[in-house]
Amino acid sequence: MESLYLATSLMMVDIPGPTLDAATRAHLERYRFGGVCLFRKNIQNPAQVRKLVADIRAVLGPQAWIAIDQEGGAVQRVLELAQAPAPMALGAIGDAKTAGAVGAAVGRTLISLGINWNFAPSVDVNTNPKNPVIGDRSFGSDPKKVARLALAWARGLEGAGVMATVKHFPGHGDTFLDSHLDLPVVNKTPEELERTELYPFRKTVEAQISAIMSAHIRFPALDKQYPATLSEKILTRFLRKKLGFKGIIVTDALDMKAITQHYPVGEAAVKSLQAGADLILSLGKPEVHIAQATAIQEALENGQLSREHAQKSQQRLKEAAQRFPGSPRNYSATQQKKDQTLMEQVALRSITPYRQPLRPRRSDRILLVSAGSTFEAGPYGETIAVQDFAELLKTRFARVSQFVYNPQKAEEFKGELEKAATQADYLLVVSVGRGSLSPQEAQLLKHAFSLGKRATHIALWNPYHILSLRKPAFVTYGFRAPTLKALVKVLGGAQARGRLPFKLR
């Protein structure tokens, strides 16, 4: 059993729901994993999360890690406390002190629930406007600015008692494939990687941030055969030895198709640990956890995986857990209110004007044009409720109506849009979704600007949509409540002070 528990101490798993049911409890008791990663499916309210976390630690021990992805913006699992704007919103402000304050507020939120490890921030330098998975999760397209803001955010988070994780090493910012769905390849020379992708990671090592997450991406300049997560050349020879990183290396989720389409689950788990990872993120049904635990145990027993390496990883995790104990800290109502105010102020400062957008007049009949009243996108089903924006808009403007089209059949809605626009004075053309706009959808939204009405584009979530339309716009970098409130204030006359944190092409 000793080799099994050594194996499982290097694994973090997910669980199916908001309570620890009997089957899940038995599974955790049997395998004693190193920790649990929480998702939106596990969260209902703060009291419930605190109980769930306490129940998990009662089974796995007080040293067990409870982790989450709380980046801000779209990638945010806890929505019941102060919601942070997206990293790119902080990029639009450009102030490291503000980034540090937001990171600290996120830390206070998480540690109040007993969550002591955050898989954030992303230091990916988003240089590809068609990147389907990073986008607003990046602080921008300038590596120096990304490093400055992201590391301030990480220091704020760690100062509040939650371990930060800089990701996705060696860099996910110049991909056009989503590694949840496929295996991206970044064909850049070592010199190009040094100038852009690797710069923030070198700064991360200098800053002694506690953890780095690997990317499921192939970088032929660094390893012709394996993606970074499975590459000894990248994780050990480059990150550990060349860059001198002494913290924890954690894999991105091994259930992503970039890995599962190319490697059996057990083999991937062993290969990532052989490559130099300290902890694998083993997500999926219990059968997946068991297959990976068994494969690691066998590799330890037959010598394929060095026991000494595994024990060193286990020790790193133990020492880090002592630095970031998971005991929930008090989060007073006064502090919660301050943090909520901070997020709203940051959201307001981030709203970015593009090409001198026109605001509606109080008396205008406003037509809000969008794809769906609710719109789901992203690997974990983040939902934009355009309806929520419409309701907020009505608190400031008396006459607001909606025109909803199907983005899959955008070309069929041209006539209906023309008809609806006859009853409006001002059009708010709202583009939603994480991915790029299809040519048909972009054409429909451009058509709205040719109908003789005053109009403004709202890039709600993907800021690069402005490149598809090239029309006057406000860029929000997201759709969470503080950002929607800020947008309504800006449409009502408040100054939009953000600056685009990426180069226009």
Tokens of 300: 């330890």
What is residue 84's DSSP assignment? P
Q: Do residues 293 and 7 lie in contact, with contact meaning Cβ atoms separated by under 8 Å?
A: yes
User: Between the CA of residue 130 and those of 48, 189, 434, 436, 470, what are the distances in Å?
Assistant: 39, 21, 10, 6, 16
Residue carrying the six token digits 């060193």:
312
Distance CA 274, CA 237 (A): 12
Tokens of 133: 């998975």
Beta strands in 406-480 (DSSP E): 426-431, 454-459, 473-475
288: which residues sit within 8 A by CB, 6+ positions away?
255, 265, 282
Tokens of 95: 């102030």
Q: Of 55, 95, 180, 182, which one is the catalytic site residue?
A: 180
Distance CA 444, CA 66 (A): 45
How long is the chain? Answer: 505
Q: Of 223, 252, 278, 339, which one is the catalytic site residue?
A: 252
Nearest Cα neighbor of 48 from 114, 119, 118 is: 114
Q: Do residues 434 and 135 lie in contact, with contact meaning Cβ atoms separated by under 8 Å?
A: yes
Q: What angle do CA 392, 396, 399 make, to 5 degrees?
A: 90
Tokens of 73: 């913006």
Q: What angle do CA 86, 88, 94 make, to 5 degrees?
A: 120
Give catalytic status of residue 252 as yes or no. yes
134 CB-side CA count, 13 A: 28
* Residues taking part in catalysis: 180, 252
